[in-house]
Structure 1
């Protein structure tokens, strides 16, 4: 079983992170965000599942457990006797994976609930009195776009339309879910930290591109996000939910001022296949553990 542990817990998450770093920007950002977020989530899930299986093995090889369930604890132990530390380490790693992931999920729910207070129940675009230039999307049914009076004063009409179109793109494509998935995955496995950070950038780029199509000018969107970022930097933010905040504004502006990129090859298959392989190996590890316990039971 150790080869499953090695691949799904150690190797695959690192390879997914490396391939995302090398290949994600070769894809249109909307597709890349979905592929990267789901690949990270699947890889983290496979890692946790493998750690769970090895933790169960650590329990199953205890003599008292063998006596209770009438199987040979020695046979269970012998399967990984040359790496005897692996089952015990897995129990520790499982706790350090699940607890941060649960805390991260709870944080996302709290922030989202706080943001949803900003709604009058009717307006799709809600303006709130606040001098700080801010705009953010509030997911829900229906979703809302919140714009401060400071943001309206900071931008001209066309630039404001671009910002609103950008936030609407977050709502249209449920970007908050992709960001949450990637954040939780990175909390579960530290090797996926950069992947989660890049998902935040990709959803911003995807929203930039949709806004450019909506207003008919990539330059206008570039100017809008540049001015909005400068205004936000000059005043503390509201600290509320957004699909992905700012980050790498110069790169976003540069991308908007360059021709749109189109994928020339299905690069998205690389991280997706790595994540899938990790899930397949996890399923095989579960089968192997079942076979081992059957063998141990027959030896009694």
Structure 2
């Protein structure tokens, strides 16, 4: 239950740069989510077993607590450690959820009225731009950002943010960060997902404007201008001007200045998906084992 997410990280870390961004971000985010859910379900199964080891609880449900205890008598600490890990993972996931909800509420403050167009220009000096998911989705750009870019660069920025909206990147980022909250090993995957999200939007923007160098110069100009001014107050995610992790902006610019990515092999994407699917299957077997144990404990109850 705890090893599969780590295997996903190990397998992805080697061929990560060979993954096509658009395909890689979807595969990584949902593979991490599946592995995280499998982890929670397994921890939940052991937590049920821990509860069934308590004589009062076992008596209430007509179970033989001795039978339940005997099943892991050689490792009595496993069920109780699982219960503690389940509580920690649940609390961490709830915190990530609340953080994203705060970010969305903050972003929607600038999304304009229903009659506005998709691009909303707000009068703020910060160098910032971000996509606001919803119906309809909006692209918020500060006047500070607009002044930092020429017309071609601004068109690249809008195409980049529109790519975030069209691909549902905010949802994928939430999924990846929830997975990272559940299992520490998956935090690396969440960081990788955040980078691939930006790379996927960069590539779509380059295709939309027809010039990779324009997108690269827009990113560089926005980042340099943002370094000279404070960021907006609030937990905005997927901001064009600022990298979520150090070194991401130079890597994005370098990738855009390089020749367009050619055909990529599919196996780096397929492997984490298969590992996540295997963790789900193993979880099903664990639940069935728990069911058989509880049935046996019921039959042997005094």
TM-score, scaled relative to structure 1: 0.94
Counterparts of 1:230 and 1:19, CA distance in 2? 35
Q: Is the Cα contact below 8 Å between 2:99 and 2:235 reproduced in 1? A: no
Distance in 2 between residues matched to 1:59 and 1:91, nearest whole Å: 9
SS in 2 for 1:243: coil
Pairing 1:146-295 to 2, within 5 Å after superposition: 146-238=140-232, 239-243=234-238, 245-246=242-243, 247=245, 248-261=248-261, 262-295=263-296
Tell me the residue number matched to 2:297. 296
Cα deviation per residue 1:106-143 (whole Å; 9 max; x = unaligned)?
A: 11011101111112222210111122221111111001
* Rounded Cα–Cα distance in structure 1 between residues aligned with 2:26 and 2:180: 15
Q: 1:57 aligns with which of 41, 49, 53?
A: 49
1:83 to 75, 79, 85: 75
For the 8 Å contact 1:138–1:242, the answer to whether it is kept is no
Q: Distance in 1 between matches of 2:105 and 2:38?
A: 29
Instruction: Map Cα deviations across residues 28-71 of structure 1 (whole Å, 9 max, x no partner).
Output: 10111111110111111111111110010001122222222222
Q: Distance in 2 between matches of 1:19 and 1:236?
A: 38
| Equivalent residue number for residue 59 of structure 2 | 67
Counterparts in 2 of 1:297 and 1:240: CA distance versus 1, 3 Å = closer
Residue 240 of structure 1, CA deviation: 4.5
User: Are the equivalent residues in 1 in contact too, given 2:128–2:226 (CA < 8 A)?
Assistant: yes
Measured in 1, the distance between the counterparts of 2:265 and 2:40 equals 34
Q: Tell me the distance in 2 between the aligned counterparts of 1:189 and 1:81.
A: 26
Gaps of 5+ in 2: none
The answer on whether the counterparts of 1:136 and 1:145 sit within 8 Å (CA) in structure 2 is yes
- 1: CA distance between counterparts of 2:175 and 2:19? 20
Kindly indicate whether the alpha-carbon contact (under 8 Å) linking 1:182 and 1:196 is maintained by their aligned counterparts in 2.
Answer: yes
More off after superposition, 144-153 vs 242-251: 242-251
